[in-house]
Amino acid sequence: MPRSISRPKRNNRKVVSRKPKVTRNRHRVTAFVRKNWDDRLTATQNLERLGLKADLNSAKELAATTADAAAEASLETRPGDTVPPRVNAARPRFYVHELEAAYIDSLEKAHGSNYIAMQRDIKTNSLQWTAARCEGKIERLRKFRAGERARKLAEAEAADAKAAAGEDSPAGDDSDEEDEEDEE
């Protein structure tokens, strides 16, 4: 009978250290926040209590912080403490990058509103978006462009109003500058 060759067994056990692991504080927090943070409250409640915005993507405006609200929250502030700036209100909510807009336009040009055909077109839809995703992206692009048009219209009206206010200014200032240029 052949003899079986036995291999030496390896010790597959992992060495366990009983030392407590050192945890690093990954979140850098100011002394102001650390001092006024309440562990019994949720993060959202704590941030609202500190006058900060918890959800940066929400469209709600921050409530104006008044001295009464600060007194009610009983927060201690020092002159060196700063409050972070508000969320950038200039950026539209439905922002679409110009390259993504060109990609969406090519899909819409090729298939119109047939989202199933967009999904199945592997040449135009190289990112392999689903029909629902194509529909959502096109809707978002439409909202973005409508908002851009409204913003540009508002800017044009503001510029027109500013120009109309500039026409009402006394003309003597402009004529004096022209006379000085002629003399030189």
Task: Report whether 128 contacts 82 (CB < 8 A).
Answer: no
**Residue 121 domain flag:** yes
| Angle (CA) 109 110 114, round 5° | 95
pLDDT one-digit tens code per residue, 38-58: 889 888 888 888 887 777 666
How large is the average pLDDT for residues 169-184? 50
Average pLDDT of the chain, as a whole number: 76
Helix (H, G, I), strand (E, B) or coil at 121: coil
Cα separation, 164 vs 160, whole angstroms? 6
Instruction: Please give the share of the chain, as a percent, with pLDDT higher than 70.
Output: 66
Task: Give domain status of residue 183, yes or no.
Answer: no
Query: Residues 59-106: pLDDT tens digits?
Result: 444 444 444 555 555 445 555 556 555 555 566 677 889 999 999 999
Residue 141 lies in a domain: yes
Contact (CB, 8 A) for 141 and 101: yes
Which domain, by its residues, includes 134?
Answer: 98-168
68 and 103 in one domain?
no
Question: Are 149 and 92 in contact, with CB atoms under 8 Å apart?
Answer: no
Does residue 135 form part of some domain?
yes
Cβ contact 91:100 at 8 Å? no
- Please state the domain count of the chain: 2
